[in-house]
Amino acid sequence: MTTTIKKITATNSRVIISRQMVKVTLIIPTRLETTVEINSENQRLKTMTIVINPGASLNLIQNFSTGTPRELTERIVVGRRATLSYVMLHKLSAVSNFSCVIEHHRAACSTIRLALSGKNQAKNSTSLVSKLDAAESQSKILILASARDEAKLTINANAAISRQAESAVADVGLHSLLLSPQAAIELTPKMEIKNSNVIAAHRATVSQLDQLEKFYLNSRGLTAQETELLLVNNFFTQLTKDLNPQLITRIIPALKTL
């Protein structure tokens, strides 16, 4: 049976996606500023297409801190001089796959922040492609991931800058934290640059909890569990840097549960 695609046109400052929806197309009209929140009640969601029309602004919050869809595919089109602020929180404990393609028109701007936390025998594949196809477009990507127990995470992030993307700006940062010997995180930052007049950078780090920090906190009376919780929370708090205050207020409680 074919699932009907539900088309929604935003008309005010906040949009609710019903928990029954499986396939959604969301239209953000020209010059409208709105916020869309998706959470663990939307676990049936499989595909989502978002079109942000010229001059519009979208705050997209995807909070799956208490349950994640098994498969989720997204396509986001950021129109001329439109802006996208996207924050995604995924708490992973089973098999799941996430992919997102973001397309930028002239002078479009996107800020993408993803936090992934894997435990037990979670197996996750996350793919993010940011296409800068027009002049003066900008895309900044930050992905933070932690894994404990036997969790295995594979994260790919690609900024693709076309020949037409004169004066484009792209930045990709992937950072991970391994919390047990059996856990694994594979990070692949990638850039495809076909125009020489751009600003582009990418980086990736894989680390463990700092032993000196753990020793200091233990010496101040914190238990091993409290110490790990504090350091992991501090790691994920990086996600809020330079984020607008409205988004920070909404995601801080969920970040503390990762």
Tens digits of residue pLDDT in 9-20: 998 888 888 888
Structure token digits, residue 84: 């996208």
Q: Quick one: angle between helices 245-255 and 224-237, nearest 10? A: 150
CA atoms 45, 242, 247, 132: torsion sign: negative
188-234: pLDDT as tens digits: 999 999 999 999 999 999 999 999 999 999 999 999 999 999 999 99
Instruction: Identify the CA nearest to 97 among candidates 122, 75, 124.
Output: 124
pLDDT at 5 over 50: yes
In 3D space, the residue among 102, 41, 100 whose CA is nearest the CA of residue 69 turns out to be 41
Q: In this structure, are residues 8 and 26 in contact, taking their beta carbons and an 8 Å threshold?
A: yes
Q: Hunting for tokens 């233990």 — which residue is that?
A: 218
pLDDT at 3: 66
Task: Say if CB 63 and CB 56 are below 8 A apart.
Answer: no
Per-residue pLDDT, averaged over 137-156, amounts to 97
How many C-beta atoms lie closer than 10 Å to residue 123's C-beta?
16
Mean pLDDT, the chain, integer: 93
Residue 142 to residues 8, 54, 86, 157, 180: CA-CA distances in angstroms? 28, 25, 10, 9, 23
Taking only the tens place, the pLDDT of each residue in 31-62 is 999 999 999 889 899 999 999 999 999 999 99
Residues 12-29 have a mean pLDDT of: 91
- Where do runs of H (alpha helix) occur along the chain? 211-219, 224-237, 245-255
Distance CA 63, CA 148 (A): 20
CA–centroid distance for 107 within its chain: 21
Handedness of CA 95, 44, 249, 159 (dihedral sign): positive
Angle at 236 between CA 232 and CA 240, to 5 degrees: 150
Q: What is the pLDDT of residue 82?
A: 98
Ramachandran class of 139: left when φ > 0, alpha when ψ lies in -120 to 50, beta otherwise: beta
- Predicted structure pTM score: 0.95
97: which residues sit within 8 A by CB, 6+ positions away? 70, 71, 72, 124, 125, 126
Check residue 249 and give its pLDDT: 85
What is the phi/psi pair of residue 32, to 5°?
A: -85, 140
Sign of CA dihedral 73, 124, 92, 170: negative
Cβ contact 129:161 at 8 Å? no
Report phi then psi at 100, rounded to 5: -145, 135
Amino acid at 180: S
Q: Which two tokens stand for residue 150?
A: 């036997």
